[in-house]
Amino acid sequence: MPCSSKSIVPRHHAVQAQPWDILFLLSEVTSGVAQGHFSVEGCSTRQAQNALALRCAKAILSRQWVLRRFFESSQFVVVRSNTGTMGAALASYARNEDGQQVVTIEYVVVDQKFRRHGVGETLVQHFLAEASAGTIVECFCMAHSQSMQKLLRHVGFVRKSKVVAVTIDDATMLIPSHWVWCA
């Protein structure tokens, strides 16, 4: 399947998140776990939720130049309306063993009232627009996230692997499908 990217003008604008947006992300992720959109193993326990909240706080704090070197490189962005937060996304930045920049879009959540209005697309496009030439942009999706998979295809991602079920000691864990953007 050839890679192609589409130039899309977003209807909304992604901005840097504020501390109060952490609660929005956590509530949407918790709701998404119940619907099968996120891994139960990675999001359903209080410890996992606290770790996610801490990562969001670190992303907000890392915008401060003085604090940047103390925190992992991640970005937490939101789309707002006059009435509040419409959607949020968290992505991490790292380098692979070849020294290539890798952006992993970890969470994209949209308030139920604003789904299918371009909010998720705006969030994903934010990270794509910031990716320099040669950057790998990836995302992982559970099988139930059909709308996210459709969005990823729409903006030029290609699925590299399907969801895999792994059983260890009578416990089954789902490994999400892997999607990579083809610039």
Q: What is the pLDDT of residue 138?
A: 95
Is pLDDT of 68 > 70? no
Q: What is the pLDDT of residue 159?
A: 94
Q: Which of 28-37, 41-50, 149-158 has the lowest mean pLDDT?
A: 41-50
Q: What is the pLDDT of residue 4?
A: 47
Q: By C-alpha distance, which of 59, 60, 63, 146 is closest to 104? A: 59
C-alpha to C-alpha distance for 139 and 103, rounded to whole angstroms: 9
Is pLDDT of 116 > 80? yes
Q: What is the pLDDT of residue 39?
A: 67
pTM: 0.81
Coil/strand/helix, residue 169: coil
Q: What is the pLDDT of residue 169?
A: 85
C-alpha to C-alpha distance for 138 and 179, rounded to whole angstroms: 5
Query: What is the rounded average pLDDT for all residues in the chain?
Result: 81
Q: What is the mean pLDDT of residues 130-135?
A: 89
Q: Which domains, from first to last, does the chain contain?
A: 14-181 (3.40.630.30)
Q: The tokens of 148 are what?
A: 């996210």
Q: Which of 5-14, 21-30, 87-96, 135-144 has the lowest mean pLDDT?
A: 5-14
Q: What is the pLDDT of residue 103?
A: 94
Q: What is the pLDDT of residue 2?
A: 43
